Amino acid sequence: MGSISAVDEKTGRKFYLDDPDDLQPGEKVVFILSLHGGGSVGAWQRLYFPAHDYKERYRLVIATPSAATKEPMRRWVEEADDEHLRNIVDYVFERYGRENIAAFWLAGHSQGGMTSNRLLGQDFFKERVDGWLSLSGGRIGPIELPATFFSPHRGSLPPPDQGGNGPRPGRAAAVDCDISFIFATGEHEMVSLPETSPWAEKYGAGPRQRLPDVVDDQPGQIYDTLREGKSTPAWGLWPKPGTAQVYVYPNARDGRVIADVVRMDKGHTEGLEPKVTEALIRMMVAAPGGKARTASAV
């Protein structure tokens, strides 16, 4: 099939759907539901996290929708979007066969990551999702954001709360389900990366280990053009080549993949470079899956 604009027949809303051009009937695939950040759209997300560039190599199906709410900015809202997101999952499971979904991952940038975190509190998603890739969308185990993160776009993201426990930029809520978890972030959008992970502790993983850096000689495909010339390194500047540091917590129970990836000299909005994109996908497809086959059909 390749890449099409699919339709959620229950709502009439369209979304991008990518799969391998040479996909065979009954072939196993890894399904990624990829959610954009606040103020963005699905077309931007496809370029920010270009998983479709690797759909043949890693046998991926990627659904990339757009949120319905547009004011004061486009963002994911429970009342407006959750039914649509569930419909997309049902559509993919029916189209490819739930028995052929080797693994199902949520991937979300910024508010899309926070939305992924919220969805994992719902039975529908916790029964089906095998992993969550948080693209600057909150870490299970808080990180501190620099003050400059909010300055160029004050009011366009939920402000940091004052001691609450809900999801917010930098911090994700712990979820009551079994998933692999990968957190990817820019160096400039945090003060520092913790050396420990409560999610790794949950699964009895070993101490953090650093893998070889991922070095990209090509830039990402997108950036925040609306704030060009008035952004900060924390929010993100022009896309450029770079190096990513990869940290894993080995030997987690049931083979769960738990990792932190820091893109050096990058902020919140520069699109992911090709090699670090592939490195993230490689970890995703290596993680255990199979929830789709046992989830309730309702």
pLDDT digits (tens, 9 = 90+) for 64-95: 999 999 988 899 999 999 999 999 999 999 99
pLDDT for 156:
43
CA–chain centroid gap for 226, Å, is 22
pLDDT for 164:
39
Residues near 275 by Cβ (< 8 Å), separated by ≥ 6?
214, 215, 216, 218
pLDDT for 226:
84
Q: What is the mean pLDDT of residues 201-207?
A: 98
CB 212 within 8 A of CB 262: no
184 lies in some domain:
yes
Q: Which CATH number do you get for residue 201?
A: 3.40.50
pTM: 0.93
* pLDDT score of 31 more than 80: yes
Which segments within the chain are labelled E, that is strand? 3-8, 13-18, 29-35, 60-64, 101-109, 131-135, 139-140, 171-172, 180-186, 209-216, 242-248, 258-263
pLDDT for 2:
72
Q: What is the mean pLDDT of residues 236-249?
A: 96
56 lies in some domain:
yes
Q: What is the mean pLDDT of residues 101-117?
A: 97
159 lies in some domain:
no
Q: What is the mean pLDDT of residues 167-171?
A: 67
Q: What is the mean pLDDT of residues 133-143?
A: 92
Q: What is the mean pLDDT of residues 175-186?
A: 96
Q: How many CA atoms lie within 13 A of 33 on its CB side?
A: 32
- The rounded distance, in Å, linking the Cα atoms of 176 and 20 is 33
Domain count, the chain: 1
For residue 167, name the pLDDT band (cuts at 50, 70, 90): low
161 lies in some domain:
no
160 lies in some domain:
no
End-to-end CA distance of the chain: 27
Q: Would strands 242-248 and 258-263 be described as parallel, antiparallel, or unpaired?
A: antiparallel
* pLDDT score of 152 more than 80: no
pLDDT for 61:
98
Query: Rounded mean pLDDT of the chain?
Result: 91
Domain that holds residue 196: 3-154+166-294
Residues near 162 by Cβ (< 8 Å), separated by ≥ 6?
none
63 lies in some domain:
yes
pLDDT for 101:
98
23 lies in some domain:
yes
pLDDT for 1:
66
pLDDT for 242:
97
